[in-house]
Amino acid sequence: MTRIFNQLKEKITDSDFYLIDPDLNIVTSNRTSVDLGYEISRFTDTISENYKLNIEGLKPHRDTTFMENGSMWTLEKLDLKEILDTEIAAYGRSFKVYTLTDWAIVQEISSEKLNDKFGLLYRNFTIFNFFGIIASILIAYGLVRSKMRRQQFYVQLEAKNKSLLAGKAQLELNNIQINEINERLQIRNKQLEEFNYVVSHNLRGPVTSMSVIVDMIKKEDEPQKIKSLIPKLDQISKNIANLTEDIKEYITILDQNEIALEVIAIPHLIDTIKNEFIETLLDDGKDFSVIYHLEEWDTLEFSKFYLKSIFQNFISNAIKYRRDDVASHIIFESRYEDDKKVLYVKDNGLGINMEHHGNSIFKLYKRFHRNISGKGMGLFLIKSQLEALNAKISVESKVGEGTSFKIKF
Amino acid sequence: MKKANILLVDDDEIYLYLTKRLLNDISEEIAVSSFTDGEQAIDFIKVCTEAKAALPDIILLDVNMPFLDGWGFLKEFKKLKPRLEDKILIYLVTSSELEKDKKYAQDFEELTGYYVKPISEDNLLEILTDVYKQNW
Protein backbone atom coordinates (compact mmCIF):
# COMPACT_ATOMS: atom_id res chain seq x y z
CA MET A 1 0.00 0.00 0.00
CA THR A 2 2.76 2.37 0.86
CA ARG A 3 4.26 1.56 -2.48
CA ILE A 4 1.08 2.55 -4.27
CA PHE A 5 0.91 5.74 -2.33
CA ASN A 6 4.48 6.57 -3.19
CA GLN A 7 3.70 5.92 -6.83
CA LEU A 8 0.81 8.33 -6.60
CA LYS A 9 3.00 10.93 -5.01
CA GLU A 10 5.56 10.74 -7.77
CA LYS A 11 3.11 10.97 -10.64
CA ILE A 12 1.22 13.97 -9.54
CA THR A 13 3.79 16.63 -9.10
CA ASP A 14 2.39 19.69 -10.67
CA SER A 15 -0.22 20.35 -8.05
CA ASP A 16 -0.78 19.07 -4.54
CA PHE A 17 -3.12 16.24 -4.01
CA TYR A 18 -4.68 14.64 -1.01
CA LEU A 19 -6.45 11.41 -0.62
CA ILE A 20 -9.04 11.91 2.09
CA ASP A 21 -11.60 9.93 3.97
CA PRO A 22 -15.13 11.19 4.67
CA ASP A 23 -13.91 12.95 7.83
CA LEU A 24 -11.47 14.93 5.70
CA ASN A 25 -8.55 13.09 7.22
CA ILE A 26 -5.66 12.90 4.83
CA VAL A 27 -4.97 9.31 3.93
CA THR A 28 -2.02 10.27 1.83
CA SER A 29 -0.67 13.37 0.11
CA ASN A 30 2.36 14.43 -1.81
CA ARG A 31 2.81 17.08 0.84
CA THR A 32 3.13 14.74 3.75
CA SER A 33 5.52 11.97 4.29
CA VAL A 34 3.17 10.03 6.47
CA ASP A 35 0.47 7.86 5.01
CA LEU A 36 -2.50 7.00 7.09
CA GLY A 37 -3.44 3.86 5.42
CA TYR A 38 -5.56 2.69 8.22
CA GLU A 39 -8.55 3.47 10.32
CA ILE A 40 -7.23 5.84 12.85
CA SER A 41 -10.32 7.67 13.83
CA ARG A 42 -10.29 6.23 17.20
CA PHE A 43 -6.75 7.49 17.73
CA THR A 44 -5.84 10.72 19.18
CA ASP A 45 -7.12 14.04 18.08
CA THR A 46 -3.62 15.40 17.75
CA ILE A 47 -3.05 13.41 14.66
CA SER A 48 -6.26 14.45 13.12
CA GLU A 49 -5.43 18.08 13.72
CA ASN A 50 -2.31 17.76 11.70
CA TYR A 51 -3.69 15.42 9.09
CA LYS A 52 -7.00 16.87 8.50
CA LEU A 53 -7.90 19.21 5.63
CA ASN A 54 -9.66 22.10 7.26
CA ILE A 55 -11.24 23.38 4.10
CA GLU A 56 -14.89 24.45 4.39
CA GLY A 57 -15.80 23.67 0.80
CA LEU A 58 -14.88 20.01 1.17
CA LYS A 59 -17.27 19.28 3.98
CA PRO A 60 -20.30 18.20 1.96
CA HIS A 61 -18.00 15.54 0.54
CA ARG A 62 -19.24 15.56 -2.96
CA ASP A 63 -17.62 16.29 -6.32
CA THR A 64 -16.85 19.96 -6.51
CA THR A 65 -14.40 22.68 -7.58
CA PHE A 66 -14.04 25.89 -5.66
CA MET A 67 -11.65 28.58 -4.51
CA GLU A 68 -10.59 28.88 -0.92
CA ASN A 69 -7.53 30.38 0.83
CA GLY A 70 -6.26 31.60 -2.58
CA SER A 71 -6.09 28.06 -3.96
CA MET A 72 -8.31 26.14 -6.30
CA TRP A 73 -9.66 22.96 -4.79
CA THR A 74 -11.13 20.03 -6.67
CA LEU A 75 -12.76 17.07 -4.96
CA GLU A 76 -13.56 13.87 -6.72
CA LYS A 77 -14.89 10.84 -4.89
CA LEU A 78 -13.30 7.56 -5.59
CA ASP A 79 -16.00 5.05 -6.43
CA LEU A 80 -13.94 1.92 -6.35
CA LYS A 81 -16.96 -0.29 -6.58
CA GLU A 82 -17.89 1.09 -9.99
CA ILE A 83 -14.32 0.71 -11.18
CA LEU A 84 -14.30 -2.84 -10.00
CA ASP A 85 -17.62 -3.61 -11.67
CA THR A 86 -16.33 -2.38 -15.01
CA GLU A 87 -13.15 -4.31 -14.59
CA ILE A 88 -15.12 -7.47 -13.90
CA ALA A 89 -17.36 -6.87 -16.90
CA ALA A 90 -14.38 -6.31 -19.17
CA TYR A 91 -12.10 -9.04 -18.19
CA GLY A 92 -14.30 -11.50 -16.43
CA ARG A 93 -11.98 -11.48 -13.53
CA SER A 94 -13.03 -10.98 -9.97
CA PHE A 95 -11.11 -9.15 -7.33
CA LYS A 96 -11.42 -9.65 -3.75
CA VAL A 97 -12.04 -6.37 -2.07
CA TYR A 98 -11.44 -6.31 1.59
CA THR A 99 -12.42 -2.87 2.50
CA LEU A 100 -14.55 -0.54 0.42
CA THR A 101 -13.36 2.86 1.42
CA ASP A 102 -15.25 6.09 1.01
CA TRP A 103 -12.23 8.11 0.01
CA ALA A 104 -11.92 11.06 -2.26
CA ILE A 105 -9.11 12.72 -4.12
CA VAL A 106 -8.63 16.35 -3.43
CA GLN A 107 -6.45 18.39 -5.71
CA GLU A 108 -5.14 21.74 -4.62
CA ILE A 109 -3.70 24.17 -7.06
CA SER A 110 -2.09 26.85 -4.96
CA SER A 111 -2.38 30.55 -5.73
CA GLU A 112 1.26 30.66 -6.91
CA LYS A 113 0.65 27.88 -9.38
CA LEU A 114 -2.60 29.47 -10.47
CA ASN A 115 -0.70 32.66 -10.99
CA ASP A 116 1.97 30.86 -12.97
CA LYS A 117 -0.59 29.19 -15.15
CA PHE A 118 -3.18 31.88 -15.59
CA GLY A 119 -1.37 35.06 -14.55
CA LEU A 120 -0.02 35.77 -18.01
CA LEU A 121 -3.34 34.99 -19.55
CA TYR A 122 -4.99 37.18 -16.96
CA ARG A 123 -2.55 40.02 -17.54
CA ASN A 124 -2.93 39.72 -21.29
CA PHE A 125 -6.63 39.63 -20.83
CA THR A 126 -6.46 42.68 -18.56
CA ILE A 127 -4.30 44.56 -21.07
CA PHE A 128 -6.63 43.50 -23.84
CA ASN A 129 -9.57 44.66 -21.75
CA PHE A 130 -7.78 47.87 -20.93
CA PHE A 131 -7.18 48.66 -24.56
CA GLY A 132 -10.68 47.49 -25.35
CA ILE A 133 -12.08 49.90 -22.80
CA ILE A 134 -9.88 52.69 -24.10
CA ALA A 135 -10.92 51.89 -27.65
CA SER A 136 -14.57 51.80 -26.59
CA ILE A 137 -14.14 55.08 -24.76
CA LEU A 138 -12.48 56.62 -27.80
CA ILE A 139 -15.18 55.30 -30.11
CA ALA A 140 -17.87 56.41 -27.72
CA TYR A 141 -16.19 59.80 -27.37
CA GLY A 142 -15.93 60.08 -31.13
CA LEU A 143 -19.56 59.12 -31.54
CA VAL A 144 -20.71 61.52 -28.87
CA ARG A 145 -18.58 64.26 -30.34
CA SER A 146 -19.86 63.68 -33.84
CA LYS A 147 -23.39 63.52 -32.51
CA MET A 148 -22.84 66.73 -30.59
CA ARG A 149 -21.29 68.32 -33.65
CA ARG A 150 -24.20 67.18 -35.73
CA GLN A 151 -26.58 68.54 -33.14
CA GLN A 152 -24.67 71.78 -33.05
CA PHE A 153 -24.73 71.82 -36.83
CA TYR A 154 -28.48 71.29 -36.77
CA VAL A 155 -28.90 74.08 -34.26
CA GLN A 156 -26.74 76.35 -36.40
CA LEU A 157 -28.60 75.27 -39.48
CA GLU A 158 -31.89 75.98 -37.83
CA ALA A 159 -30.65 79.37 -36.67
CA LYS A 160 -29.40 80.10 -40.16
CA ASN A 161 -32.66 78.95 -41.61
CA LYS A 162 -34.53 81.22 -39.25
CA SER A 163 -32.34 84.18 -40.06
CA LEU A 164 -32.70 83.40 -43.75
CA LEU A 165 -36.47 83.28 -43.42
CA ALA A 166 -36.41 86.55 -41.51
CA GLY A 167 -34.10 87.97 -44.18
CA LYS A 168 -36.42 86.73 -46.87
CA ALA A 169 -39.42 88.36 -45.22
CA GLN A 170 -37.40 91.56 -44.85
CA LEU A 171 -36.35 91.38 -48.48
CA GLU A 172 -39.91 90.85 -49.60
CA LEU A 173 -40.97 93.82 -47.55
CA ASN A 174 -38.12 95.87 -49.00
CA ASN A 175 -39.11 94.75 -52.45
CA ILE A 176 -42.67 95.90 -51.92
CA GLN A 177 -41.43 99.21 -50.58
CA ILE A 178 -39.01 99.61 -53.47
CA ASN A 179 -41.78 98.83 -55.93
CA GLU A 180 -43.98 101.42 -54.27
CA ILE A 181 -41.19 103.96 -54.31
CA ASN A 182 -40.45 103.07 -57.89
CA GLU A 183 -44.05 103.62 -58.85
CA ARG A 184 -44.07 106.94 -57.01
CA LEU A 185 -40.87 107.93 -58.79
CA GLN A 186 -42.29 106.97 -62.15
CA ILE A 187 -45.35 109.11 -61.50
CA ARG A 188 -43.08 111.89 -60.26
CA ASN A 189 -40.95 111.60 -63.37
CA LYS A 190 -43.99 111.88 -65.58
CA GLN A 191 -45.17 114.90 -63.65
CA LEU A 192 -41.78 116.54 -64.07
CA GLU A 193 -41.78 115.69 -67.76
CA GLU A 194 -45.23 117.22 -68.01
CA PHE A 195 -44.01 120.26 -66.16
CA ASN A 196 -41.02 120.55 -68.46
CA TYR A 197 -43.31 120.31 -71.47
CA VAL A 198 -45.66 122.94 -70.11
CA VAL A 199 -42.80 125.31 -69.44
CA SER A 200 -41.05 124.70 -72.75
CA HIS A 201 -44.24 125.16 -74.76
CA ASN A 202 -46.32 127.62 -72.87
CA LEU A 203 -43.67 129.82 -71.40
CA ARG A 204 -41.28 129.78 -74.35
CA GLY A 205 -44.09 130.80 -76.70
CA PRO A 206 -44.76 134.25 -75.25
CA VAL A 207 -41.10 134.82 -74.52
CA THR A 208 -40.09 134.19 -78.13
CA SER A 209 -42.93 136.44 -79.29
CA MET A 210 -41.51 139.15 -77.09
CA SER A 211 -38.10 138.80 -78.67
CA VAL A 212 -39.68 139.05 -82.12
CA ILE A 213 -41.49 142.26 -81.08
CA VAL A 214 -38.29 143.73 -79.70
CA ASP A 215 -36.55 143.00 -83.02
CA MET A 216 -39.41 144.67 -84.90
CA ILE A 217 -39.26 147.76 -82.72
CA LYS A 218 -35.54 148.04 -83.33
CA LYS A 219 -36.00 147.95 -87.10
CA GLU A 220 -39.15 150.07 -87.22
CA ASP A 221 -38.89 153.77 -87.79
CA GLU A 222 -42.56 154.68 -87.93
CA PRO A 223 -43.81 155.58 -84.43
CA GLN A 224 -47.32 154.54 -85.39
CA LYS A 225 -46.24 150.99 -86.19
CA ILE A 226 -44.21 150.77 -83.01
CA LYS A 227 -47.21 151.92 -81.01
CA SER A 228 -49.37 149.21 -82.55
CA LEU A 229 -47.09 146.61 -81.02
CA ILE A 230 -47.57 147.82 -77.47
CA PRO A 231 -50.99 146.13 -76.85
CA LYS A 232 -49.38 142.89 -78.00
CA LEU A 233 -46.63 143.26 -75.42
CA ASP A 234 -49.29 143.95 -72.82
CA GLN A 235 -51.12 140.77 -73.81
CA ILE A 236 -47.91 138.75 -73.63
CA SER A 237 -47.14 139.96 -70.13
CA LYS A 238 -50.69 139.05 -69.04
CA ASN A 239 -50.33 135.60 -70.60
CA ILE A 240 -47.06 135.06 -68.79
CA ALA A 241 -48.62 136.20 -65.53
CA ASN A 242 -51.53 133.78 -65.95
CA LEU A 243 -49.21 130.95 -66.83
CA THR A 244 -47.08 131.69 -63.79
CA GLU A 245 -50.17 131.48 -61.61
CA ASP A 246 -51.21 128.16 -63.14
CA ILE A 247 -47.72 126.73 -62.80
CA LYS A 248 -47.61 127.91 -59.20
CA GLU A 249 -50.81 126.00 -58.49
CA TYR A 250 -49.35 122.88 -60.09
CA ILE A 251 -46.04 123.22 -58.26
CA THR A 252 -47.91 123.55 -54.97
CA ILE A 253 -49.46 120.14 -55.60
CA LEU A 254 -46.15 118.60 -56.67
CA ASP A 255 -44.24 120.12 -53.83
CA GLN A 256 -46.59 119.12 -51.06
CA ASN A 257 -44.64 116.55 -49.09
CA GLU A 258 -46.93 116.28 -46.13
CA ILE A 259 -50.56 116.59 -47.05
CA ALA A 260 -52.97 116.74 -44.14
CA LEU A 261 -55.21 113.66 -44.33
CA GLU A 262 -58.55 113.23 -42.67
CA VAL A 263 -61.48 110.89 -42.87
CA ILE A 264 -64.02 112.52 -45.13
CA ALA A 265 -67.73 111.71 -45.36
CA ILE A 266 -68.22 111.69 -49.12
CA PRO A 267 -72.02 112.36 -49.23
CA HIS A 268 -71.63 115.39 -46.97
CA LEU A 269 -68.81 116.78 -49.10
CA ILE A 270 -70.80 116.29 -52.31
CA ASP A 271 -73.83 118.01 -50.77
CA THR A 272 -71.71 120.99 -49.76
CA ILE A 273 -70.31 121.38 -53.27
CA LYS A 274 -73.72 120.87 -54.84
CA ASN A 275 -75.04 123.80 -52.85
CA GLU A 276 -72.26 126.01 -54.19
CA PHE A 277 -73.42 125.27 -57.72
CA ILE A 278 -77.14 125.75 -57.08
CA GLU A 279 -77.08 129.41 -58.08
CA THR A 280 -75.37 128.65 -61.37
CA LEU A 281 -77.90 125.94 -62.03
CA LEU A 282 -80.87 128.10 -61.17
CA ASP A 283 -79.63 130.95 -63.37
CA ASP A 284 -79.53 128.60 -66.27
CA GLY A 285 -82.97 127.26 -65.54
CA LYS A 286 -81.84 123.84 -66.63
CA ASP A 287 -82.25 120.55 -64.86
CA PHE A 288 -79.13 119.01 -63.42
CA SER A 289 -78.97 116.42 -60.67
CA VAL A 290 -76.12 115.14 -58.55
CA ILE A 291 -76.71 111.49 -57.70
CA TYR A 292 -74.69 109.26 -55.45
CA HIS A 293 -74.63 105.51 -54.94
CA LEU A 294 -72.27 105.19 -52.01
CA GLU A 295 -73.52 101.92 -50.48
CA GLU A 296 -70.21 100.04 -50.57
CA TRP A 297 -68.22 102.77 -48.85
CA ASP A 298 -68.88 106.41 -48.13
CA THR A 299 -65.89 107.61 -46.12
CA LEU A 300 -62.36 108.11 -47.35
CA GLU A 301 -59.07 109.15 -45.82
CA PHE A 302 -57.79 111.87 -48.10
CA SER A 303 -56.89 115.52 -48.25
CA LYS A 304 -60.18 117.36 -47.79
CA PHE A 305 -58.86 120.36 -49.71
CA TYR A 306 -57.89 118.22 -52.71
CA LEU A 307 -61.02 116.08 -52.68
CA LYS A 308 -63.19 119.17 -52.59
CA SER A 309 -61.28 120.67 -55.50
CA ILE A 310 -61.54 117.38 -57.41
CA PHE A 311 -65.31 117.08 -56.89
CA GLN A 312 -65.80 120.76 -57.77
CA ASN A 313 -64.00 120.26 -61.06
CA PHE A 314 -65.98 117.11 -61.87
CA ILE A 315 -69.34 118.74 -61.14
CA SER A 316 -68.32 121.97 -62.89
CA ASN A 317 -67.27 120.02 -66.01
CA ALA A 318 -70.47 117.94 -65.96
CA ILE A 319 -72.55 121.11 -65.88
CA LYS A 320 -70.43 122.98 -68.43
CA TYR A 321 -70.30 120.15 -70.98
CA ARG A 322 -73.84 118.82 -70.55
CA ARG A 323 -76.16 118.02 -73.42
CA ASP A 324 -79.17 120.25 -73.86
CA ASP A 325 -81.44 117.50 -75.13
CA VAL A 326 -81.38 115.32 -72.01
CA ALA A 327 -81.90 115.69 -68.27
CA SER A 328 -78.27 115.98 -67.20
CA HIS A 329 -76.78 114.27 -64.20
CA ILE A 330 -73.56 113.28 -62.56
CA ILE A 331 -73.33 110.03 -60.60
CA PHE A 332 -70.83 109.24 -57.83
CA GLU A 333 -70.62 105.50 -57.27
CA SER A 334 -68.43 103.75 -54.70
CA ARG A 335 -67.07 100.24 -55.23
CA TYR A 336 -64.46 97.83 -53.95
CA GLU A 337 -62.16 96.38 -56.60
CA ASP A 338 -59.19 94.17 -55.66
CA ASP A 339 -59.75 95.24 -52.03
CA LYS A 340 -59.25 98.85 -53.03
CA LYS A 341 -61.69 101.70 -52.87
CA VAL A 342 -62.81 102.75 -56.31
CA LEU A 343 -64.98 105.74 -57.13
CA TYR A 344 -66.78 106.06 -60.44
CA VAL A 345 -67.81 109.54 -61.59
CA LYS A 346 -70.14 109.34 -64.57
CA ASP A 347 -71.98 112.00 -66.49
CA ASN A 348 -74.31 111.92 -69.48
CA GLY A 349 -72.76 114.98 -71.12
CA LEU A 350 -71.21 115.70 -74.48
CA GLY A 351 -68.44 113.15 -74.14
CA ILE A 352 -64.90 113.35 -75.46
CA ASN A 353 -63.57 112.01 -78.74
CA MET A 354 -61.16 109.42 -77.34
CA GLU A 355 -59.60 108.73 -80.72
CA HIS A 356 -58.42 112.32 -80.97
CA HIS A 357 -57.88 113.21 -77.38
CA GLY A 358 -57.26 109.92 -75.57
CA ASN A 359 -53.65 110.84 -74.89
CA SER A 360 -54.22 114.40 -73.83
CA ILE A 361 -57.32 114.29 -71.66
CA PHE A 362 -55.42 115.00 -68.45
CA LYS A 363 -52.85 117.37 -69.96
CA LEU A 364 -52.58 121.04 -69.23
CA TYR A 365 -54.35 123.54 -71.48
CA LYS A 366 -56.08 120.83 -73.46
CA ARG A 367 -59.63 121.60 -74.42
CA PHE A 368 -61.99 119.28 -76.20
CA HIS A 369 -65.09 121.34 -76.86
CA ARG A 370 -65.09 124.38 -79.04
CA ASN A 371 -67.35 127.32 -78.16
CA ILE A 372 -67.41 126.39 -74.51
CA SER A 373 -64.99 128.52 -72.58
CA GLY A 374 -62.45 126.69 -70.53
CA LYS A 375 -58.91 126.99 -69.46
CA GLY A 376 -57.91 123.38 -70.00
CA MET A 377 -56.84 123.07 -66.39
CA GLY A 378 -59.54 121.11 -64.52
CA LEU A 379 -58.72 117.52 -65.41
CA PHE A 380 -55.02 118.29 -65.26
CA LEU A 381 -55.40 119.44 -61.66
CA ILE A 382 -57.66 116.49 -60.77
CA LYS A 383 -55.00 114.04 -61.96
CA SER A 384 -52.17 115.87 -60.23
CA GLN A 385 -54.04 116.05 -56.94
CA LEU A 386 -54.98 112.36 -57.08
CA GLU A 387 -51.44 111.31 -57.94
CA ALA A 388 -50.07 113.36 -55.07
CA LEU A 389 -51.91 110.91 -52.81
CA ASN A 390 -51.19 107.74 -54.80
CA ALA A 391 -54.60 107.49 -56.40
CA LYS A 392 -55.01 106.69 -60.08
CA ILE A 393 -57.52 107.98 -62.57
CA SER A 394 -58.62 106.60 -65.92
CA VAL A 395 -61.35 107.63 -68.32
CA GLU A 396 -63.82 106.23 -70.79
CA SER A 397 -65.97 108.41 -72.98
CA LYS A 398 -68.23 108.42 -75.98
CA VAL A 399 -69.26 111.50 -77.89
CA GLY A 400 -72.97 112.16 -77.38
CA GLU A 401 -73.27 109.67 -74.50
CA GLY A 402 -71.13 110.87 -71.68
CA THR A 403 -67.91 110.39 -69.79
CA SER A 404 -66.99 107.97 -67.02
CA PHE A 405 -63.98 108.48 -64.75
CA LYS A 406 -62.62 105.73 -62.56
CA ILE A 407 -60.57 106.66 -59.53
CA LYS A 408 -58.65 103.94 -57.71
CA PHE A 409 -57.58 105.02 -54.24
CA MET B 1 -48.05 135.29 -111.34
CA LYS B 2 -49.53 133.04 -108.75
CA LYS B 3 -50.03 134.59 -105.36
CA ALA B 4 -48.26 132.75 -102.55
CA ASN B 5 -50.71 131.16 -100.19
CA ILE B 6 -49.58 130.44 -96.64
CA LEU B 7 -51.62 128.90 -93.82
CA LEU B 8 -50.64 129.41 -90.20
CA VAL B 9 -51.97 126.92 -87.63
CA ASP B 10 -51.22 128.03 -84.09
CA ASP B 11 -53.21 128.78 -80.93
CA ASP B 12 -50.90 131.66 -79.99
CA GLU B 13 -52.69 134.78 -81.23
CA ILE B 14 -49.65 136.97 -80.83
CA TYR B 15 -47.51 134.59 -82.84
CA LEU B 16 -50.13 134.67 -85.58
CA TYR B 17 -50.20 138.46 -85.56
CA LEU B 18 -46.44 138.80 -85.63
CA THR B 19 -45.87 136.17 -88.32
CA LYS B 20 -48.54 137.70 -90.52
CA ARG B 21 -46.87 141.08 -90.11
CA LEU B 22 -43.45 139.64 -90.97
CA LEU B 23 -44.80 137.92 -94.07
CA ASN B 24 -46.55 141.10 -95.23
CA ASP B 25 -43.33 143.01 -94.73
CA ILE B 26 -41.56 140.52 -96.99
CA SER B 27 -44.08 140.77 -99.78
CA GLU B 28 -47.59 142.03 -100.28
CA GLU B 29 -48.07 139.24 -102.76
CA ILE B 30 -48.41 136.67 -100.00
CA ALA B 31 -51.87 135.61 -98.91
CA VAL B 32 -51.84 134.56 -95.24
CA SER B 33 -54.67 132.76 -93.49
CA SER B 34 -54.72 131.18 -90.03
CA PHE B 35 -56.47 128.76 -87.70
CA THR B 36 -56.02 128.44 -83.98
CA ASP B 37 -56.13 124.65 -83.83
CA GLY B 38 -55.51 121.58 -85.95
CA GLU B 39 -59.14 120.54 -86.15
CA GLN B 40 -60.20 123.77 -87.86
CA ALA B 41 -57.27 123.51 -90.25
CA ILE B 42 -58.02 119.92 -91.24
CA ASP B 43 -61.71 120.72 -91.68
CA PHE B 44 -60.71 123.65 -93.94
CA ILE B 45 -58.52 121.41 -96.09
CA LYS B 46 -61.34 118.85 -96.37
CA VAL B 47 -63.78 121.54 -97.46
CA CYS B 48 -61.32 122.98 -99.99
CA THR B 49 -60.63 119.55 -101.48
CA GLU B 50 -64.32 118.82 -101.91
CA ALA B 51 -65.03 122.27 -103.35
CA LYS B 52 -61.90 122.10 -105.53
CA ALA B 53 -60.92 125.44 -104.03
CA ALA B 54 -57.36 126.66 -103.85
CA LEU B 55 -55.30 125.00 -101.11
CA PRO B 56 -52.41 126.64 -99.30
CA ASP B 57 -48.93 125.98 -100.64
CA ILE B 58 -47.32 126.12 -97.25
CA ILE B 59 -48.56 125.27 -93.79
CA LEU B 60 -46.67 126.48 -90.73
CA LEU B 61 -47.90 124.07 -88.07
CA ASP B 62 -47.65 124.39 -84.31
CA VAL B 63 -47.44 121.25 -82.18
CA ASN B 64 -49.17 122.08 -78.93
CA MET B 65 -52.74 123.15 -79.66
CA PRO B 66 -56.18 122.43 -78.25
CA PHE B 67 -58.77 120.14 -79.88
CA LEU B 68 -56.31 118.70 -82.38
CA ASP B 69 -52.60 119.20 -81.94
CA GLY B 70 -49.90 119.24 -84.60
CA TRP B 71 -49.36 115.47 -84.46
CA GLY B 72 -53.09 114.82 -84.72
CA PHE B 73 -53.27 117.18 -87.68
CA LEU B 74 -50.45 115.30 -89.43
CA LYS B 75 -52.19 111.96 -88.89
CA GLU B 76 -55.42 113.31 -90.36
CA PHE B 77 -53.53 114.96 -93.17
CA LYS B 78 -51.96 111.63 -94.08
CA LYS B 79 -55.44 110.26 -94.75
CA LEU B 80 -56.34 113.22 -96.94
CA LYS B 81 -53.10 113.34 -98.91
CA PRO B 82 -54.01 110.88 -101.71
CA ARG B 83 -56.94 113.12 -102.65
CA LEU B 84 -54.85 116.30 -102.91
CA GLU B 85 -53.97 117.53 -106.39
CA ASP B 86 -51.23 119.94 -105.42
CA LYS B 87 -48.40 119.33 -103.05
CA ILE B 88 -48.65 121.08 -99.72
CA LEU B 89 -45.41 121.67 -97.84
CA ILE B 90 -45.75 121.48 -94.10
CA TYR B 91 -43.24 123.04 -91.72
CA LEU B 92 -43.45 122.29 -88.04
CA VAL B 93 -42.95 125.46 -86.02
CA THR B 94 -42.84 124.84 -82.33
CA SER B 95 -41.61 126.42 -79.15
CA SER B 96 -40.47 123.01 -78.02
CA GLU B 97 -36.76 122.36 -77.97
CA LEU B 98 -37.30 118.83 -76.73
CA GLU B 99 -35.33 116.14 -78.54
CA LYS B 100 -38.34 113.88 -78.15
CA ASP B 101 -40.41 116.14 -80.37
CA LYS B 102 -37.66 116.44 -82.98
CA LYS B 103 -37.33 112.68 -83.16
CA TYR B 104 -41.07 112.20 -83.35
CA ALA B 105 -41.21 114.72 -86.20
CA GLN B 106 -38.77 112.65 -88.26
CA ASP B 107 -41.34 109.87 -88.47
CA PHE B 108 -43.68 112.04 -90.53
CA GLU B 109 -42.71 112.09 -94.19
CA GLU B 110 -45.37 114.77 -94.72
CA LEU B 111 -43.07 117.23 -92.99
CA THR B 112 -40.70 119.32 -95.05
CA GLY B 113 -38.97 121.17 -92.23
CA TYR B 114 -38.75 121.79 -88.50
CA TYR B 115 -38.32 125.21 -86.88
CA VAL B 116 -38.06 126.22 -83.27
CA LYS B 117 -39.67 129.55 -82.29
CA PRO B 118 -39.02 132.40 -82.58
CA ILE B 119 -39.33 132.21 -86.32
CA SER B 120 -37.42 135.11 -87.84
CA GLU B 121 -37.78 137.03 -91.08
CA ASP B 122 -34.75 135.13 -92.33
CA ASN B 123 -36.39 131.80 -91.56
CA LEU B 124 -39.50 132.84 -93.45
CA LEU B 125 -37.44 134.00 -96.44
CA GLU B 126 -35.67 130.66 -96.41
CA ILE B 127 -38.96 128.81 -96.55
CA LEU B 128 -40.40 131.03 -99.24
CA THR B 129 -37.27 130.79 -101.38
CA ASP B 130 -37.37 127.01 -101.16
CA VAL B 131 -40.95 126.79 -102.23
CA TYR B 132 -41.26 129.57 -104.82
CA LYS B 133 -37.80 129.41 -106.35
CA GLN B 134 -39.18 127.83 -109.48
CA ASN B 135 -42.22 130.10 -109.69
CA TRP B 136 -40.54 133.42 -109.05
- pLDDT confidence of A117, banded at 50, 70, 90? confident
Contact A201 B39 (CB under 8 A): no
Q: What is the pLDDT of residue A97?
A: 60
Where is average pLDDT lowest: A91-95, A218-222, A402-406, B87-91?
Answer: A91-95
Q: How far is B13 from chain A (nearest CA, A)?
A: 9
Q: Is the pLDDT at A80 greater than 90, yes or no?
A: no
Q: Is the pLDDT at B109 greater than 90, yes or no?
A: no
Query: Chain-centre distance of CA A115, in angstroms?
Result: 69
Better-predicted residue by pLDDT, A199 or A171: A171
Contact B15 A205 (CB under 8 A): yes
Contacts of A247 (CB under 8 A, 6+ apart): A195, A198, A199, A203
Q: What is the pLDDT of residue A329?
A: 92
Contact B97 A370 (CB under 8 A): no
- pLDDT confidence of A10, banded at 50, 70, 90? low
Q: What is the pLDDT of residue B134?
A: 56
ipTM: 0.84
**Can you tell me the distance from the alpha carbon of A398 to that of A355, in angstroms, rounded to the nearest whole number?**
10
Distances in Å between the alpha carbon of A145 and those of A158, A159, A332?
19, 20, 74
Where is average pLDDT lowest: A44-58, A104-118, A309-323?
Answer: A44-58
| Partner A contacted by B43 (CB < 8 A) | no
Closest CA to B16 of B65, B89, B87: B65
Taking the CA atoms of chain A, what radius of gyration do you get in angstroms?
Answer: 63
**Can you tell me the distance from the alpha carbon of A95 to that of A4, in angstroms, rounded to the nearest whole number?**
17
Domains assigned to chain A:
2-109 (3.30.450), 256-408 (3.30.565.10)
Q: What is the pLDDT of residue B52?
A: 86
User: pLDDT tens, B48-72?
Assistant: 988 888 899 999 999 888 888 899 8
Contacts of B2 (CB under 8 A, 6+ apart): B135
Taking the CA atoms of chain B, what radius of gyration do you get in angstroms?
Answer: 14
CATH topology of domain B37-117: Rossmann fold (3.40.50)
Instruction: Indicate the helix (H) or strand (E) that contains A266.
Output: helix A266-284
Contact B14 A236 (CB under 8 A): yes
- Among chain A residues, CA nearest to B38: A356
Q: Is the pLDDT at A286 greater than 80, yes or no?
A: no
Phi and psi, residue A351, nearest 5°: 80, 165
**Can you tell me the distance from the alpha carbon of A294 to that of A334, in angstroms, rounded to the nearest whole number?**
5
Query: Which residues of chain B lie closer than 8 angstroms to A367, CB-CB?
Result: 66-67
